[in-house]
Amino acid sequence: GENVEQHPSTLSVQEGDSAVIKCTYSDSASNYFPWYKQELGKRPQLIIDIRSNVGEKKDQRIAVTLNKTAKHFSLHITETQPEDSAVYFCAASTHGQNFVFGPGTRLSVLP
């Protein structure tokens, strides 16, 4: 079955700097890769996603890149703000069903 790894487990950056979180997956059949943000005590929420027919996608300060050959994808947050502090989970799935989540990255943005 699918296995998703995520690094780093914790990340601290200064406000205004960029943050990058990387995930790898094992199943070459996976074709949909969402990212979730979970603030303390709240539910995970979808922030951006990418499909295997696209190499990069941007939404304001957030971008995701996908390398199908290497089976890895990354989340990039630019101009980080304190409200970006949260746990971020990547996931991989085939046709949007039964996602496998990474273990999460705790991002702290220091003022």
Partner 1 sequence: GAGVSQSPSNKVTEKGKDVELRCDPISGHTALYWYRQRLGQGLEFLIYFQGNSAPDKSGLPSDRFSAERTGESVSTLTIQRTQQEDSAVYLCASSPAGQGRRGYTFGSGTRLTVV
For partner 1, which residue of 20, 57, 68, 101 counts as binding (CB under 8 A)? 101
Contact between 45 and partner 1 by CB under 8 A: the answer reads yes
- Does residue number 73 form part of the binding site for partner 1 (CB under 8 A)? no
32, β-bridge pairs: 51, 93
* Complex with partner 1: residue 16 or 96, whichever CB lies closer: 96
Please report whether residue 3 would count as binding partner 1 according to CB under 8 A: no
Taking the CA atoms of residue 46, residue 47, residue 48 and residue 49 in that order, the dihedral angle to the nearest 10 degrees is -10
Residue 46 found at the interface with partner 1 (CB under 8 A)? yes
> What are phi and psi for residue 84, nearest 5 degrees?
-80, -10
Region of residue 76 (left: phi > 0; alpha: psi -120 to 50; beta: else): beta
Residue 95 touches partner 1, criterion: CB under 8 A: yes
Tell me the pairing of strands 105-110 and 10-14: parallel
The site for partner 1 (CB under 8 A) is made up of 34, 36, 42-46, 49, 89, 95-104
